């Protein structure tokens, strides 16, 4: 008759050996047409714009408009 501790050790070793037979999936789950990338932050969700998309868009639009030197005072 085995001692309980030995029985536990044998069971543990058996489980450890068995886990070696397992195979974890190594492929990315990439579905056609669907991005697998993490979802990034929205560029206006920060302290500066406080989630206000309109404010952010307005800032960028005015900045883009500044690229037009015809609108500058000469």
Partner 1 sequence: MARMKFICDAERCIECNGCVTACKNEHDIPWGVNRRRVVTLNDGVVGAERSISVACMHCSDAPCMAVCPVNCFYKTEDGVVLHDKDLCIGCGYCFYACPFGAPQFPSAGAFGVRGKMDKCTFCAGGPEKDGSKAENEKYGRNRLSEGKLPACAEMCSTKALLAGDGDVLSDIYRERVMRRGRGGDLWGHATAYGRPDAKAAPATPAAPVAQPAPQKS
- Write out the residues near partner 1 by the rule CB under 8 A: 28, 30-32, 34-46, 48-49, 53, 56-57, 59-61, 63-65, 67-70
Whole-angstrom distance, CA of residue 51 vs CA of residue 68 = 28
DSSP output for 4-27: HHHHHHHHHHHHHHHHTT-----S
Q: Which is nearer to partner 1, 22 or 32 (CB)?
A: 32
Least distance from C-beta 22 to partner 1, angstroms? 24
Q: Which is nearer to partner 1, 37 or 73 (CB)?
A: 37
């Amino acid at each position: 008759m085995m001692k309980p501790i030995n029985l536990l050790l044998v069971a543990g070793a058996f489980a450890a050996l068995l886990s070696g037979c397992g195979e974890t999936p190594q492929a990315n789950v990439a579905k056609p047409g669907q991005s697998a990338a993490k979802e990034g932050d929205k560029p206006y969700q920060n302290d500066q714009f406080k989630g206000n998309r309109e404010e952010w868009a307005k800032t960028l639009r005015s900045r883009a408009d500044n690229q037009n030197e015809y609108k500058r005072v000469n």
